[in-house]
Amino acid sequence: MSTAAVADTRPYHHGDLRRALVDAAIRILEREGPSALSLRAVAREAGVSPAAPYHHFKDKGELLDAVAHVGWEALGVAMTEAKDRSADLSGLLTEIGVSYVQFSQDHPALYRVMYDCSRDKDALPEGIQDKEDSAYCLVRGAFRHVAGPQVADVDIELATIAAWCAAHGLAEMSMFKQFTPLKEAFGGEEGFLRAVLSHLGMFTPRVLPQD
Amino acid sequence: MSTAAVADTRPYHHGDLRRALVDAAIRILEREGPSALSLRAVAREAGVSPAAPYHHFKDKGELLDAVAHVGWEALGVAMTEAKDRSADLSGLLTEIGVSYVQFSQDHPALYRVMYDCSRDKDALPEGIQDKEDSAYCLVRGAFRHVAGPQVADVDIELATIAAWCAAHGLAEMSMFKQFTPLKEAFGGEEGFLRAVLSHLGMFTPRVLPQD
DNA sequence: ACAGCGATCTTAGCGGTGTCAAGATGATCT
DNA sequence: AGATCATCTTGACACCGCTAAGATCGCTGT
């Protein structure tokens, strides 16, 4: 019994349904936003029955976890690119910060899912801090690189967290359109970001031995 | 034609059902978290039928707006108390920032609803920036007070936004329990908050005429 | 006073959702 | 080949947001 309508290689046992579901979820997310992301809609988008996902994910939350994981990896790539792009040391952290916030603006729905999943588990996803090439380690490494070896680990950690908090706060707040007049005053989106980030101060190499 | 006031919730059948629904919603929120906050559950908690809320709110979002409004007012009270509590000028903004983050930790579910509602409308709620005694104006006023009259309005605005971004980011991030070791290193919750906030720097009066 | 009106609340029902149990299907292994 | 087992479908349950129609009760004008 072959449908054989299109070159649609879908042999009722889908090749890689797990991957297809994650892709479908991201497609819906970018197209219709987070409120439209139901498990049934994902199954519909992938062309399978509403119960099919349960053979690959324990529940809806686990699918969202997989989606969020893809998002964190994409964010890590964007930040790494920003790091490699910035030649001088002084602008390193600012460049990374800008890339972070711009990612959140390019993929607002995905960014939201990424943090919603983290909140439900009371922890940032594993990929963000465990692996050596994670986004968190990238920022921490940048701070370490900028600050030099004499700064204590705990202070580097603190600086990293402070920077991450500021970037996340800015990412969420800059979605509010009431900031548009201020954005114009600072020469557009990126100018506004740089102004806020530089005002926050910790994206410039001022991490020094305290006291 | 006599009922000139639309929002004039007068007790007819139930008493003040509108208010009772908001209270019930907050009760559910604090007891079971945001995922349990369905319109039907709120009606159940208030002891009315599932359709009763629709005579006081257009839809679920409007109820959440009312809940969020209560939250913003409570946050404003907490921040004002912090402002009045801090005697010296130098610790003013830090004190306000700490009170902000601590509010988000005391009422995590409510805090989340407050921002979810804002996100859905692409703007912060009216009460936060329009009214003169709002939380936003309180922070801006503190910056203006600390910076003096020679600083331009646009820079005060930028400092306020940067501070708000940092506080919001810290509020969300500090919910993650992976920071607990670092929190202990800084002498508990409040010590950690003060360390991050002071590291961010803009909670100390360093708003000066640029360049 | 009393009829009418309109605001308030209920009942019933629609389509949608997450999730599970049981059956159909098909790839793989001996 | 036949058996096995992961995979996918069907069907069902409870809950959800939301709407329409009817019941209830206070207010108002005469």
| H-run or E-run covering A116 | helix A108-121
Q: Do A200 and B122 touch (CB under 8 A)?
A: no
pLDDT of residue B209: 44
Q: Average per-residue pLDDT in chain A? A: 86
By C-alpha distance, the chain B residue nearest A174 is B165
Q: Average per-residue pLDDT in chain B? A: 86
pTM of this structure: 0.89
Spanning CA of A62 to C1' of D14, the rounded length in angstroms is 22
By C-alpha distance, the chain A residue nearest B118 is A176
Chain A partners within 8 Å of B202 (Cβ): 199-201
The H-assigned helical ranges of B57-152 are 60-85, 92-106, 108-121, 126-129, 135-147
By C-alpha distance, the chain B residue nearest A184 is B154
Chains A, B: CB contacts under 8 A, how many?
Answer: 114
Q: Is 70 exceeded by the pLDDT of residue A198?
A: yes
The model's pLDDT over A2-13, given as tens digits with 9 standing for 90+, comes to: 333 333 445 556
pLDDT of residue B61: 97
pLDDT of residue B13: 64
**A2 vs chain B: nearest CA distance in angstroms?**
43
pLDDT exceeding 70 applies to what percent of chain A? 85
pLDDT of residue B175: 85
Confirm if B159 and B201 have CB atoms less than 8 A apart: no
A166 closest CB neighbour out of B112, B157, B165:
B165
Q: Which of A166, A41, A152 is nearest to A101 (CA)?
A: A166
- What is d(CA B189, CA B180) in angstroms, rounded to the nearest whole number? 8
pLDDT of residue A81: 95
Nucleotides of C under 7 A from a protein CB: 7-13, 16-22, 25-27
Token reading at B98: 């700490």
B118 closest CB neighbour out of A158, A176, A182:
A176
Q: Which residues touch strand C (CB under 7 A)?
A: A 1, 11-13, 38-41, 50-51, 54, 59-61; B 3, 9-10, 12-15, 17, 48-52, 55-56
- What is d(CA B73, CA B116) in angstroms, rounded to the nearest whole number? 16
Phi, psi of B130 (to 5 degrees): -80, -55
The model's pLDDT over B102-139, given as tens digits with 9 standing for 90+, comes to: 999 999 999 999 999 998 888 777 656 666 778 889 99
- What is d(CA A140, CA A130) in angstroms, rounded to the nearest whole number? 12
Q: Is B54 on the interface with A (CB under 8 A)?
A: no
Q: Which of A208, A210, A201, A211 is nearest to A93 (CA)?
A: A201
Segments in chain B below pLDDT 50 = 1-11, 205, 207-211
| H-run or E-run covering B53 | none
- Residues B66-100 as b or e (16 or more Cβ within 10 Å = b): bbbbbbbbbbbebbeebbeebeeeebbbbbbbbbb
Q: Is 80 exceeded by the pLDDT of residue A32?
A: yes
Chain B partners within 8 Å of A162 (Cβ): 166, 170, 196, 199-200
Nucleotide minimizing C1' to CA distance for residue B13: C8
The model's pLDDT over A112-156, given as tens digits with 9 standing for 90+, comes to: 999 999 988 887 776 566 667 788 899 999 988 888 898 888 888
Mean pLDDT confidence for A19-25: 97
Nucleotide minimizing C1' to CA distance for residue B50: C10
pLDDT of residue A155: 87
**Higher-scoring residue by pLDDT: A62, A197:** A62
- What is d(CA A38, CA A54) in angstroms, rounded to the nearest whole number? 13
**SS3 label, residue B46:** helix
